[in-house]
C-alpha cells in the first residue's frame, strides 16, 4: 500500500531502553531506520538497576546483542569475558550504559518518558478505513507531568514486565487483604537486596518467600547467607506444588551451570533445615495483627485443611505479567492463555513447555493485525516465564529487517541456545533446547508434552506435575 506522504520519514518508536529495546534500536540503525526510544526511568536499564544485586545465570556470551556489539566495538568498547556471569548492575554499567551513551543512541533516547498510550493517528480501535496507512501516535508523559504526542511509522514495545508483578493469591487474583498487607510494608518488592540495601527489612525476622522460580531461588539463597550472619533470622518457603523434587531443576545436567547450581544449593538449604519448605500451600488471605512479632498472618489452604502462618515479612516471587493498558487502542492478536502473540503462545505455553525448545521466531510470529506494530522481549512472552535475552535479540533483528522491507532476512531466523536439563516451569524454567529440535515442540493439533533434555522432562511441566499430584 502507498505510504502517506512523509510517513516513511518518521522514526520507529521503541518503548523501553532495556537490553532488548536498545538492541532493537541498534538493529534499526543498521537497517537505515531512525529509532525514537522511550524510557520511563531516568536512565537505560532502569528496571534492571532495581535488581542489580542479582547475578544472571547466563554468561555474557548470551547477553550481548550482535548489532549492539558492532556499534560498541566501533567506538572502542571491549566486551567482558564471554564466560563470566554478570550481576544485573554489571549488565547496566558495562553494557547498557555505554551503549546508551553512543551518540547515535543517546540522540534518540528520551528518558523520564513514560508511554501512556499508543494509537493510530486520529483513529480509535473501531475504525478500519485507511487504518493501515495512518502513522502511529505515541503519547508519553514526562517526569514533570507534561504530555507529548509523537508520530511514528512503527512501534516496537519492549517495555518488559517488571512493573507488573503477579499477585500472590491464587487464580491470578490478589488474595483478600493482600493490598493492605503490601501497603503496610509486610509484602516487599520482588528480588529485594536481602544482604545489602534492604538488609534491615529481613535481619532477625521470620521471612516467607512465595513462589518457585529463579527469583525465589536467588532470594532464598541470599536469605540463607543472611541467616548465618544474623541470629534469629528464620526462612519459610511456600509453593503450591506437591512435588518438591521438581523445584530444584536439572542440577549438574543443566546446560547453563550457574542455573543448575541454583537448584543444587537450594536443595541443600532445605535438606539442612535452614529453609522450612511448605508444599501444597495456596494463599487464601492475609490478616494484619497488632504490632509485634510476626505481624502478618498468612492464611493458606493445604491438603490437611486450612492453616495460618505468622511471619514478619513476605517476599513475592510469583512472576510477572504484561501491562496491556497502554495498548487498548491497538488491534492485538493475543493467545488467550499466556497473552503472548497468538502464533507464539502455543510454543511457550508453560503447561507443556518447560525443558522443551524455544523455536527461532521473528517478525511473522510476533505480528499483530495493526501492521508494523510488534511486542518484543519479555513482554512478548506474556505470562510465560521462559524468556532469555538471546531470544529477544533475535526477535528485534527480524523485526528491524521486516520494517526495512527485507522480508527474506526477517524470515531467516536462527537461535542457538544452551541445552537445558531444567525440566520445570519453576527453578530454571526455560525452553532452551537446540533450535534443530524445535519442530517436535508443537504439532498442528496444538501443544503436546515433549521429552527433550533431562529424561523426565515432560513429567515436570505443569501438566505433568498435575498428573503427579493427583
What per-residue confidence (pLDDT) applies to 332? 97
Task: Dump pLDDT digits (tens) for 298-350.
Answer: 999 999 999 999 999 999 999 999 999 999 999 999 999 999 999 999 888 87
> Alpha helices, DSSP H only, in 3-87?
19-30, 46-50, 66-74
108: closest CA among 193, 6, 13, 205?
A: 13
pTM of the model: 0.85
Coil, strand or helix at 375? strand
Predicted local distance difference test score (pLDDT) of residue 461:
41
Question: Beta-carbon neighbour count of residue 427 at 10 Å?
Answer: 26
pLDDT of residue 429: 32
Q: pLDDT class for 434, splitting at 50, 70, 90?
A: very low
User: Does the structure show a pLDDT above 90 at 457?
Assistant: no
Q: List C-alpha distances in Å: 132 to 123, 200, 342.
A: 11, 54, 20
Instruction: Locate all alpha helices (DSSP H) within 157-308, ordered by sequence.
Output: 178-183, 199-202, 214-229, 257-271
Assess whether pLDDT exceeds 70 at residue 258: no
Query: Can you tell me whether residue 25 is helix, strand or coil?
Result: helix
Q: Which three cell numbers mark 420?
A: 537445558
d(CA 340, CA 384): 8
- Residue 467: is its pLDDT beyond 50? no
Residue 425 reports pLDDT greater than 80: no
Q: For the segment 76-105, what is each residue's pLDDT rounded down to a tens digit?
A: 999 999 999 999 999 999 999 999 999 999
For residues 426 and 93, the model is more confident at: 93
Closest by CA to 135, choosing from 13, 247, 230, is 13
Higher pLDDT, 435 or 285: 285
Mean pLDDT of 250-274: 72
CA dist., res. 449 & res. 451, Å (int) = 7
Helix, strand, coil percent content, the chain, rounded in steps of 5: 35, 20, 45
Q: Which one-letter DSSP state was computed for residue 327? A: G
Strand 206-210 with 234-238, pairing: parallel
DSSP-based three-state secondary structure for 262 = helix
pLDDT band at 469 (very low <50, low <70, confident <90, very high): very low
The C-alpha cell that represents 101 in the structure block: 551513551
Contact at 8 Å (CB) between 177 and 286?
yes
Q: How far apart are CA 120 and CA 131, in angstroms?
A: 7
Band of residue 456 on the pLDDT scale cut at 50, 70, 90: very low
Residues pairing with 374 in the sheet: 156, 367
The string over 289-326, giving b where at least 16 C-beta atoms fall within 10 Å of a residue's C-beta and e elsewhere, is eeeeebbbbbbbbeeeeeeebebbbbbbbbbbbbebeb
- Does 286 have pLDDT greater than 70? yes
Of residues 122 and 423, the one with the higher pLDDT is 122
**Is the distance from CB of 241 to CB of 213 less than 8 angstroms?**
no
| Residue 420's pLDDT band (cuts 50, 70, 90) | very low
**Average pLDDT for residues 50-54, to the nearest whole number?**
93
pLDDT for the residue 316: 97
Amino acid at each position: 500500500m502507498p505510504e502517506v506522504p512523509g510517513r516513511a520519514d518518521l522514526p520507529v518508536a521503541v518503548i523501553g531502553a532495556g537490553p532488548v529495546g536498545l538492541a532493537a534500536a541498534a538493529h534499526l540503525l543498521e537497517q537505515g531506520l531512525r529509532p525514537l526510544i522511550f524510557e520511563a526511568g531516568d536512565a537505560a536499564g532502569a528496571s534492571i538497576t532495581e535488581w542489580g544485586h542479582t547475578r544472571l545465570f547466563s554468561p555474557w556470551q548470551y547477553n550481548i546483542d550482535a548489532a549492539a556489539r558492532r556499534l560498541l566495538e566501533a567506538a572502542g568498547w571491549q566486551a567482558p569475558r564471554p564466560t563470566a556471569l554478570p550481576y544485573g548492575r554489571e549488565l547496566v554499567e558495562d553494557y547498557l550504559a555505554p551503549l546508551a551513551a553512543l551518540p547515535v543512541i543517546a540522540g534518540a533516547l528520551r528518558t523520564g518518558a513514560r508511554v501512556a498510550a499508543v494509537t493510530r493517528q486520529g483513529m480509535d480501535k473501531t475504525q478500519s478505513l485507511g487504518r493501515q496507512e495512518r502513522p502511529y501516535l505515541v503519547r508519553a508523559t514526562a517526569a514533570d507531568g507534561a504530555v507529548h504526542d509523537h508520530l511514528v511509522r512503527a512501534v516496537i514495545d519492549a517495555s518488559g514486565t517488571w512493573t507488573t508483578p503477579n499477585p500472590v493469591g491464587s487464580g491470578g487474583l490478589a488474595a483478600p487483604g493482600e493490598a493492605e498487607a503490601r501497603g503496610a510494608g509486610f509484602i516487599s518488592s520482588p528480588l529485594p537486596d536481602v544482604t545489602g540495601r534492604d538488609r534491615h527489612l529481613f535481619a532477625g525476622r521470620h521471612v516467607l518467600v512465595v513462589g518457585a522460580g529463579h527469583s525465589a531461588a536467588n532470594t532464598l539463597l541470599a536469605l540463607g547467607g543472611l541467616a548465618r550472619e544474623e541470629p534469629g533470622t528464620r526462612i519459610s518457603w511456600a509453593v503450591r506444588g506437591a512435588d518438591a523434587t521438581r523445584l530444584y531443576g536439572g542440577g549438574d545436567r543443566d546446560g547453563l551451570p550457574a542455573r543448575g547450581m541454583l537448584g543444587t544449593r537450594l536443595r541443600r538449604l532445605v535438606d539442612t533445615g535452614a529453609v522450612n519448605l511448605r508444599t501444597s500451600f495456596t494463599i487464601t488471605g492475609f490478616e494484619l495483627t497488632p504490632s509485634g512479632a510476626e505481624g502478618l498472618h498468612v492464611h493458606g489452604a493445604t491438603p490437611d485443611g486450612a492453616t495460618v502462618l505468622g511471619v514478619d515479612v513476605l517476599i513475592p516471587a510469583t512472576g510477572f505479567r504484561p501491562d496491556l493498558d497502554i495498548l487498548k487502542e491497538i488491534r492485538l492478536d493475543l493467545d488467550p492463555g499466556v497473552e503472548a502473540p497468538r502464533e507464539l503462545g502455543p510454543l511457550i505455553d508453560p503447561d507443556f513447555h518447560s525443558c522443551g525448545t524455544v523455536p527461532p521466531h521473528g517478525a511473522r510470529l510476533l505480528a499483530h493485525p495493526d501492521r508494523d506494530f510488534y511486542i518484543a522481549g519479555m513482554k512478548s512472552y506474556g505470562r510465560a516465564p521462559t524468556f532469555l535475552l538471546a531470544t529477544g535479540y533475535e526477535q528485534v533483528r527480524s523485526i528491524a529487517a521486516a520494517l526495512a522491507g527485507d522480508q527474506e532476512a526477517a524470515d531467516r531466523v536462527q537461535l542457538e541456545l544452551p541445552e537445558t536439563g531444567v525440566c520445570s516451569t519453576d527453578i530454571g524454567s526455560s525452553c532452551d533446547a537446540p533450535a534443530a529440535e524445535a519442530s517436535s515442540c508443537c504439532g498442528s493439533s496444538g501443544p503436546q508434552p515433549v521429552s527433550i533434555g533431562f529424561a523426565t522432562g515432560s513429567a515436570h511441566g505443569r501438566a505433568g506435575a498435575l498428573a503427579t499430584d493427583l
